[in-house]
Amino acid sequence: MILDSKTPSGPIGDKWDRRKFENKLVSPANRRKFQVIVVGTGLAGASAAASLGELGYPVKVFGIHESPRRAHSIAAQGGINAAKNYRNDGDSVYRLFYDTIKGGDYRAREANVYRLAQVSVNIIDQCVAQGVPFAREYGGLLDNRSFGGAQVSRTFYARGQTGQQLLLGAYQSMMRQVNAGTVTLHQRREMLDLVVVDGHARGIVCRNLVTGELESHEADAVLLCTGGYGTVFYLSTNAVNSNVTAAWRAHKRGAYFANPCFTQIHPTCIPVSGDHQSKLTLMSESLRNDGRVWVPKSQGDRRPPAQIPDADRDYYLERRYPAFGNLVPRDVASRAAKAVCDEGRGAGDSGLSVYLDFADAIKRNGEDTIKARYGNLFDMYARITDENPYQVPMRIYPAVHYTMGGLWVDYNLQSTVPGLFVLGEANFSDHGANRLGASALMQGLADGYFVAPYTVANYLGGTNLPPVKASHDAFGAAKADAQGRIDKVLQVKGTRTVREFHRAIGAICWDHVGMARTEAGLAGAISQIRTLREEFWLDVIVPGDANNLNPGLDYAGRVADYMEFAEVLALDALERRESCGGHFREESQTPDGEALRKDDEYSYVSAWEFKGVGAPPELHKEPLIFEEVHPTQRSYK
């Protein structure tokens, strides 16, 4: 199959207008004749459901959470980008577009990214009108900050809870549609399959997580907004119930999976404290504006940090990257931390952490200023580690944070299954090989408020969709599959818990598909994953039964999917024999250890087609064509 991105022709600035004009419309009276399903209520799902409901489409919304407001988006801290140029500091739609393409290390589709930058300005207007309490200046206008090393201040924020406030805005708009009767909520429901009839997505099978019942829901279009797959690594900054299940099951029904190896490791997280650890906590990137990162100069220096004089410290980011210093992009900072720890110079009992030191900032600006800037983060750190970061330097280490890869979508956000649209972190579309800080919230809301409402309408208005009932055979077959899988996992009755297996698959991925990847490591990882998958189906123990609330069973299904997914994750990393963004192949680096891209060979999107569990998936390539931005080697020296 040739992957057609369906990108409109014409100058980049006109493409989206052109597409909106070419799109079919659905008249207001006809909208109520279509049924739309939205799976997921994070920023992408809630904003899409609200917008489609407002337009008059009947929308059924699904989510694994008790309430839509609990979706993982709620946890985003730092902020959301928009090209408003309220600071008069030289920002523009074009600059945000350029920064995103460059930050993504030239592995994203130009037209999608340009549209994202264009609609970013509308997002802020929309959110303010909803009552999102963004930070303001004394003059009453919105405040901005510079984030993740950007040279302009384009990040809007609501204290350290930007994701929460944006999600509540979208959730409230969606609840208004619930009240209006256009949107109906189906919470504590897990999508277990996509139902495809005559080549079109026509509904889903989901499990009621309270009663255990399997349900069929038919639709004319299905929007998947189910987030990322960071929890394949077991430990990550993601909420613990995040999963790849919905996306993976759709993949097995024909949706290609794109760039799974593009994962983001965030440099500033609280280090692992022991085996019991269930998740890792992010310390906002903004800390690097004032904190200085260092480790001891010599190996095995176990002195407490206060007793290590400046002469014995290595401020390695400032040393290696004099221009950007502590503010280098996430992937660069993460790899540098790993390198010094691998040299045996790491801090803490485990040797797997580096210092983030505020002593100089406190001396320069006073403790009160630092408290005003980062008070809540310092409190959070103290609560978790029992150490006072005003007196002792913080200890941080990189952790899995975000997944740029996801289901392949065209410019219209439609997957390779017609009628299946994919929004937010679940798709691969906008961030290339590395996402810039504060751009995921922007993308989720762009997709949901401003892109999908147009492209879904075009699909509904321009496609002949004969009525399908939930009694159709395809639903019965999908239900039987889902039931079979549940029965099978309950029947194993082995000796190892799901968590043990999750930890094991996570360790394989972290060691070999983490910050540094090699040919031999990846090949070995693939065979380890296969073995572990076999062991899972022979030896897992899952408690209880399938007829009531059983979180252990839900968890087993998600980890079982990771056992399959991890293989394509590693395979994608193996096949991409270049370094770019978050994907670092040790074989492909410059003499001074920086990532080396190979544009001649790898300037494409990898889209994998499922061919059966254990069978090699087929690789399809969507070439990336750069008409606006000329790819150059990133340099932060």
Structure tokens at 595: 């990532």
Q: Tell me the HSE value of 201 on the side-chain side, using a 13 A CA sphere.
A: 31
Sequence-distant (≥ 6) Cβ neighbours of residue 263 within 8 angstroms: 230, 233, 400, 402, 403, 404, 405, 513, 569, 582, 583
Q: For residue 245, state whether it binds ligand FAD (rule: CB under 6 A).
A: yes
Minimum gap (Å) between residue 328 Cβ and ligand FAD: 18
330 is catalytic: yes
Q: For residue 203, state whether it binds ligand FAD (rule: CB under 6 A).
A: no
Between 8 and 203, name the residue whose CB sits nearer to ligand FAD.
203
Q: How, if at all, do strands 59-63 and 183-187 pair? A: parallel
Kindly indicate which of the ranges 68-76, 177-185, 408-416, 497-505 contains the residues binding ligand FAD, using the contact rule CB under 6 A: 68-76
Residue 425: name its binding partner from ligand FAD, other proteins, none (Cβ under 5 to 8 Å by kind): ligand FAD
Kindly indicate which of the ranges 25-33, 59-67, 392-400, 505-513 contains the residues binding other proteins, using the contact rule CB under 8 A: 59-67
Torsion sign across C-alpha atoms 468, 472, 478, 479: positive
Residue 142: name its binding partner from ligand FAD, other proteins, none (Cβ under 5 to 8 Å by kind): other proteins
Q: For residue 237, state whether it binds ligand FAD (rule: CB under 6 A).
A: yes
5, 51, 77, 415: residue in contact with ligand FAD (rule CB under 6 A): 77
8, 53, 78, 267: residue in contact with ligand FAD (rule CB under 6 A): 78
Minimum gap (Å) between residue 246 Cβ and other proteins: 16
Minimum gap (Å) between residue 513 Cβ and other proteins: 24
Per-position x/- string for 526-565, each x denoting binding to other proteins as judged by CB under 8 A, each - no binding: ---------------xxxx---xxxxx-------------
Distances (CA, A) of 532 to 130, 165, 403, 536: 48, 41, 23, 6
The full length of the chain comes to 637
Rounded distance, CA 134 to CA 143, Å?
A: 8
15, 70, 109, 517: residue in contact with other proteins (rule CB under 8 A): 70
Torsion sign across C-alpha atoms 53, 258, 608, 486: negative
Query: Which 3 state secondary structure label does DSSP give 248?
Result: helix
Site for other proteins in 139-198 (CB under 8 A): 139-142, 158-159, 161, 164-165, 168, 171-173, 175-176, 178-179, 185, 187
Torsion of CA 423, 427, 429, 434, to 10 degrees: 120
**What is the C-alpha radius of gyration for the chain, rounded to an integer number of angstroms?**
24
Do the beta carbons of residue 206 and residue 217 sit within 8 Å?
Answer: yes
Phi, psi of 477 (to 5 degrees): -65, -40
Residue 103: name its binding partner from other proteins, ligand FAD, none (Cβ under 5 to 8 Å by kind): none
Minimum gap (Å) between residue 147 Cβ and ligand FAD: 8
Kindly indicate which of the ranges 138-146, 225-233, 435-443, 461-469 contains the residues binding other proteins, using the contact rule CB under 8 A: 138-146
Residue 384: name its binding partner from ligand FAD, other proteins, none (Cβ under 5 to 8 Å by kind): other proteins
Q: How, if at all, do strands 59-63 and 80-81 pair? A: unpaired
Residue 483: name its binding partner from other proteins, ligand FAD, none (Cβ under 5 to 8 Å by kind): none
Residue 595: name its binding partner from other proteins, ligand FAD, none (Cβ under 5 to 8 Å by kind): none
Rounded distance, CA 300 to CA 552, Å?
A: 42
Minimum gap (Å) between residue 334 Cβ and other proteins: 20
Residue carrying the six token digits 């037209």: 111
Distances (CA, A) of 148 to 170, 228, 326, 421, 633: 25, 21, 10, 30, 19
Q: Of 253, 330, 345, 597, which one is the catalytic site residue? A: 330
Site for other proteins in 566-625 (CB under 8 A): none
44, 46, 116, 124: residue in contact with other proteins (rule CB under 8 A): 124
Rounded distance, CA 552 to CA 535, Å?
A: 18
Residues tagged active-site:
330
Residues of this chain that interact with ligand FAD (CB under 6 A) are 39-45, 62-65, 71-73, 75-80, 162-163, 190-191, 225-227, 237-238, 242-243, 245-246, 282, 401-402, 424-426, 438-441, 444
